[in-house]
């Protein structure tokens, strides 16, 4: 449906332009959460080009290989731009940031919701109806806590079935990475008890403890896969503004 370009009302959820694990995973699930809760389609837009996506080896591995999300079900910012969907845009949900990237300020009149864990800039006051911003390690923790509050709606999707590994497995990646698997020395500076609550909820449905985290870290530092990307992606890979 998203690809037909015939949507009368377009609602998108987008992470920040560093497209890290938190932004990518959290925006996917937050879009699903709003779609279910509000009965309107919220499209997750991964805030990078389709070509750049593969530079983040551990994210591509998690989403495509481990969670078995078909790549053509993922929707990228360059596709959103080129499809002319902006003219039908009704709502923009900012996830994992609360100020639009300078290249995306044309969306500023449409920002209706913010779910984030960065310093609050208090922008878009005329249009914003929800501003969820708390200092937690992972913005995806805020998504998990929303799901936890409404768990009756999502119970069936939390654990996996034959085809999909489940929302719990998907969501555990940013939370374990952003807390360095609950590294004690970073407690209350890089992560909080809310991240622990979110992770404990996820462990009821999926095996997402330390070995799960270690595997993601291994993928991030996988030399062979990195070299296979060539030089340009390696140079742009560590550029992180968020």
Which residues contact Mn ion by CB under 5 A?
Answer: 22, 96, 139
Q: Would you say 20 or 91 has its CB closer to Mn ion?
A: 20
Q: How far apart are CB 137 and Mn ion at their closest, in Å?
A: 8
Q: Would you say 85 or 115 has its CB closer to Mn ion?
A: 115
CA distances from 130 to 10, 58, 125, 201 (A): 18, 31, 10, 24
What is the Rg, in whole angstroms, of the alpha carbon atoms belonging to the chain? 17
Q: How far apart are CB 15 and Mn ion at their closest, in Å?
A: 8
Q: Would you say 22 or 91 has its CB closer to Mn ion?
A: 22
| Long-range residue pairs from 30-36, CB within 8 A, at least 24 positions apart, any chain | 30/93, 30/95, 30/115, 30/143, 30/146, 31/93, 32/167, 33/143, 33/146, 33/147, 33/150, 33/154, 34/93, 34/113, 36/153, 36/154
Alpha helices in the chain (DSSP H): 21-38, 50-53, 57-60, 77-82, 139-149, 151-158, 167-178, 193-203, 210-220, 223-228, 231-237
Q: Would you say 91 or 195 has its CB closer to Mn ion?
A: 195
Cα gap 168→191, rounded to integer Å: 19
Q: How far apart are CB 45 and Mn ion at their closest, in Å?
A: 16
Cα gap 215→15, rounded to integer Å: 24
Q: Would you say 15 or 166 has its CB closer to Mn ion?
A: 15
Cα gap 186→209, rounded to integer Å: 18
Q: How far apart are CB 116 and Mn ion at their closest, in Å?
A: 8
Q: Would you say 96 or 195 has its CB closer to Mn ion?
A: 96
Cα gap 222→75, rounded to integer Å: 26
Q: How far apart are CB 93 and Mn ion at their closest, in Å?
A: 15
Q: Would you say 115 or 147 has its CB closer to Mn ion?
A: 115
Cα gap 124→146, rounded to integer Å: 23
Which residue's Cβ has the minimum distance to Mn ion? 22
Q: How far apart are CB 195 and Mn ion at their closest, in Å?
A: 11
Q: How far apart are CB 213 and Mn ion at their closest, in Å?
A: 16
């Amino acid at each position: 449906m998203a690809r037909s370009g015939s949507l009368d009302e377009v609602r998108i959820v987008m992470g920040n332009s560093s497209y890290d694990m938190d932004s990518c995973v959290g925006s996917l699930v937050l879009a699903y959460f709003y779609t279910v809760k509000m009965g309107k389609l919220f499209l997750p837009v991964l805030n990078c080009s389709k070509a750049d996506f593969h530079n983040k080896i551990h994210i591509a591995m998690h989403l495509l290989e481990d969670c078995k999300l078909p790549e053509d079900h993922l929707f990228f910012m360059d596709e959103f731009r080129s499809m002319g969907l902006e003219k039908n845009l009704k709502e923009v949900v900012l996830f994992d940031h609360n100020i639009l990237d300078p290249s995306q300020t044309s969306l500023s009149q449409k920002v209706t919701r913010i779910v984030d864990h960065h310093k609050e800039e208090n922008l878009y006051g005329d249009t914003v109806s929800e501003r969820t911003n708390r200092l937690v390690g992972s913005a995806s923790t805020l998504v998990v806590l929303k799901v936890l509050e409404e768990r009756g709606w999502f119970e069936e999707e939390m654990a996996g079935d034959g085809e999909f590994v489940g929302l719990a497995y998907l969501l555990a990646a940013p939370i374990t990475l952003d807390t360095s698997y609950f590294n004690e020395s970073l407690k209350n500076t890089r992560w909080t008890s809310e991240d622990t609550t979110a992770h404990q909820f996820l462990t009821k449905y999926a095996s997402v403890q330390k070995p799960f985290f270690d595997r993601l870290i291994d993928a991030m530092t996988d030399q062979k896969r990195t070299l296979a990307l060539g030089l340009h992606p390696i140079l742009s890979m560590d550029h992180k503004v968020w």
